Chains A and B, each alone.
Chain A
Amino acid sequence: MSSPIVVIAQQAMREASRRRTLPALVIFGCGIILSSAFLSFFQLGVEIKFFKDIAMTVIFLFGTVATLVIVSTQLSGEIESRTIYNVLSKPIRRWELVVGKFAGTAVAIGLAIAPMVAILTFFIYTDHGGSELEAVKGAYLLWLAFTVLSAVALGIASVATSTVTAALTILVFVVSYLKGAVTTYLDLISAHPVVAYFGQALYYLLPNFENFNTRTAVVHDELVPWAYLGRTTLYAAALVCLFLYVGIQLFEEREF
C-alpha cells in the first residue's frame, strides 16, 4: 500500500496535468525556444549565445508561471472549494497533505520544463554551441528555484487564499532579486554597524534566488562546478524545509 504522501503527490500531479494552463504553457514555451533556434538575423557567431539566452529565460519565465499557477491553487484551492473537509476526513495527517502537495508539484514542474530543456540541449548539440551537460546543470538549478518557490507558495497558501498566495509569492520572488539593490543602498546611506548587520541578515536569511542563476556560465560556456551544484541543492533543501515547516505549523493551527 502506498504511503499517503505518495498518493497525495500523484493526485497533485494529476490535478496539475488536468489544468489546461500547464500544457498550454509548455507548448508555448517550446514554441518560442524552437522558433528562436531558426532566427537567422542575429550577428554571425552570437546566434547560439542569443538562442541559449532566450531558451534559459523562457524556461525561467514559464517555469515560474507554471509553479505559481499550480501551487497557488493546490492547498488554497482545496480550502476555497471546501474539498479539504473530504481530504482531512481520511486517515491523513496535515503535514502529509502539505508534503504530498509539494512533492507532486515539484515533479509536475520538472516534467513541464523537461521538453524545453530537451530542445535547448538538442540545438546546443547540433550547433556545437558548447556543453549540453552545463545546460542541463543550469536547468536543474532552475528547477531547484521552482521547488523553493513552491515551498514558499505552499507556506503562504496554508493561511491565505489563492490570489493572495500568488501575489505574496511573487512579492517574495521580486524582493529576493532586489536584495542586492537594497543592501547596496544601505551601505551607501549609512556606515553604522547596525545597518551593516541588517544588510547581512537580509542577505543570509531571505531566499536568494540569484544562487540558482547560472545563465552566464551556460551562455558563455563556462563550467558549473559539481560542488556548486551540491551546495546549491543543500541551500534549496534548507529553504524548502524552512518554508514547509512554517506552512505545516500554520496549517496545523487552522480550524476546519
Chain B
Amino acid sequence: MTADSLLRLRRATAVVALLACVAGSQALVDQYRLAVNDEAGVTFSVAAVVVRSFLGEVRGLAADFLWLRVDEYQHRRRIIGGTLLQQDDEALMPLVRLITWLDPHFVDAYALGGQWLAFHFSHPQQAVAFYEEGIRNNPNDFDLHTGAAWVYWRWLHNYKRATALARDAAGLAGDDLERFQALWLVAHIRMTAGDTAGAIRAWREVGQIPGYDQASKSGIARTLAQGRGKAQ
C-alpha cells in the first residue's frame, strides 16, 4: 500500500468515525427532544410538516403575525341582515389551522377555532376533534378542557366525556374562579345527564372553595328542585 492510499484510508476512517459521532450524539439528543422541541411530541399531517419545514426557525413569529391577522379580520366581519356573515368566519379558519400547525402550543388559536367550529359553523364533531388535538398538544390548558367539555355537553350529549374533561379542568384550574367555573360545568353536565347525586357532589365541592359557600348552597337547592320536578 502506497503512502498516498494509506493517507486516503486514514482520512476516510476519520470521516466515518466523525459521522458515527454525529449520528450517536443525534440519538442522545433525541432522548430529550420531546421535552424541548414542540415537533417531537406532536403528530403532524404531511401538509403541516411541509409548512413547518419551509418556515424553519421563524415559524413562531409567522404564527404570531397570522394571529394578528385573525384578530384584525375578526373585528372587520360584516353583518348582513342582523347576523355575522359566515363566509368571513370561514375565511379565518384556514389561518387558525395554519397557526396551530406552526405553533402547536398556541392555545388561543385552538380555543378560538374550536369555538367557531361548534358555535358558528355547527360542526361539533370537527370542533371536538380540533379541541382534542389542542389538548393532546397542551395537556395542561384549562380553557381547552372547558371548551371541549361544553361542546361534548351541549352539542354531542356525550356527558361521560364532557364530565371527564370538566373534572380534568377543575384539577388544572389556576385560581378559585377557574375551579368554580369547572365545577359549575361538572354540576350542570351531571344534572343534564340525570345524575342528581353527581351534580350535588359537584356543588358540595364548590362549597369547599373559599367564598363560594352561597353559590354551593343555591346550586344544591336548585338541583334538588329540578330533581324533584323531573321525578314528578
Report which A residues bind B (CB closer than 8 A).
Answer: 42-43, 46, 49-50, 53-54, 56-57, 60-61, 174, 177-181, 184-185, 188, 203-205, 207-211, 213-217, 219-220, 222-225, 227-228, 231-232, 234-235, 237-239, 241-242, 245-246, 249
Contacts and interface: CB of A to CB of B under 8 A. Distances in A.
Contact of B37 (A43, A205, A213, A242): A213
B26 A184 contact: no
B21 A238 contact: yes
B59 to A, nearest CB: 8
Contacts of B52: 180
A234 B26 CA distance: 9
Interface of B: 11, 14-15, 18-19, 21-29, 31-33, 35-39, 46, 49-50, 52-54, 56-58, 60-61, 63-64, 67-68, 71, 103, 105, 108
Tell me whether chain A's interface is mostly helix, strand or loop, or mixed: helix
Given A180-B52, A231-B32, 7 more contacts: A60-B58, A181-B54, A204-B26, A207-B22, A210-B56, A217-B37, A242-B18
Nearest to A183: B49
Nearest to B18: A242
A57 B57 contact: yes
Contacts of B14: 245
B49 A215 contact: no
Contacts, number: 126
Most buried by B among A43, A46, A179, A216: A216
Contacts of A185: 46
B36 A205 contact: no
Leading 7 A-B pairs by shortest Cβ distance: A181-B53, A177-B56, A204-B23, A235-B25, A228-B32, A238-B21, A242-B18
B33 A211 contact: yes
Contacts of A215: 57, 60
Nearest to B52: A180
A180 B22 contact: no
